């Protein structure tokens, strides 16, 4: 099997998992914001399960090749929230929370494959169907855990930064919020310096290992 063929096969298994992870993440942000008083995402057509509405080309490509990736952020006007500081934390945490829930569901489905071991040859056709689904579910666990952990890094505009800003006292939160204009640059430096890898791989391995029973 050529490298290109192997890449295409791997992509066919990973891409559905990536699309589901990004869609669940952004939908969760919009849904919680809508429930807490901000209808911006719904009015702009972003409260949808259509993955094409949430894809960021660069962020999606990054997630194909690395554990770091992102979607097109769902617009949220925090001033419209009923309790802006508290609800900002809920909205921000909803994305990673949705990814961890999806990872847990996929891990539960994976356990249903335990009984396929030892099948006789007459059931080989079942295995031919089970195998890609098994790998897709396994990738879904890893991708969802990675997306949740990466987004919980406490750097604005990541979800972890929003949670941090909502938990800090107002004066410190205002000072912290002013760093958001430099957030992208800070993230790039952290990624290329290897700091992000050192931060996220241990918790990714821990959580994924617990879910997968490794």
Interval 158-172 mean pLDDT? 94
Question: pLDDT per residue over 145-158, tens digit each?
Answer: 999 999 999 999 99
121 as an active site residue: the answer is: no
Structural domain including 207 reads: 3-212
Higher pLDDT pick, 32 / 52: 32
Distance CA 113, CA 135 (A): 11
Reference 50, options 23, 69, 73; nearest CA is 23
Higher pLDDT pick, 163 / 133: 163
Reference 137, options 115, 112, 167, 119; nearest CA is 112
26, 117, 121, 180: which one is catalytic? 26
Quote the number of domains for the chain: 1
Confirm whether pTM is higher than 0.75. yes
């Amino acid at each position: 099997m050529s490298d290109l063929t192997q890449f295409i096969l791997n992509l066919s298994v990973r891409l559905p998992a990536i699309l589901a992870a990004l869609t669940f993440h952004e939908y969760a942000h919009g849904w919680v914001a809508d429930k807490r008083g901000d209808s911006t995402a719904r009015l702009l057509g972003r409260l949808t399960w259509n993955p094409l509405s949430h894809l960021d080309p660069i962020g999606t490509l990054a997630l194909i090749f690395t554990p770091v990736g992102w979607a097109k952020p769902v617009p949220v006007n925090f001033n419209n929230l009923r309790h802006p500081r508290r609800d900002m934390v809920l909205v921000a945490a909803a994305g990673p929370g949705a990814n961890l829930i999806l990872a847990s569901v996929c891990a539960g489905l994976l356990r249903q494959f335990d009984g396929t071991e030892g099948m006789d040859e007459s059931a080989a056709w079942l295995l031919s169907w089970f195998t890609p689904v098994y790998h897709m579910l396994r990738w879904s666990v890893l991708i969802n855990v990675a997306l949740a952990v990466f987004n919980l890094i406490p750097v604005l505009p990541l979800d972890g930064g929003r949670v941090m800003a909502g938990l800090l006292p107002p004066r410190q939160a205002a000072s912290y919020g002013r760093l958001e204009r430099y957030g992208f640059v800070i993230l790039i430096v952290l990624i290329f310096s290897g700091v992000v890898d050192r931060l996220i791989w241990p918790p990714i391995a821990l959580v994924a290992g617990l879910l997968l029973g490794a």
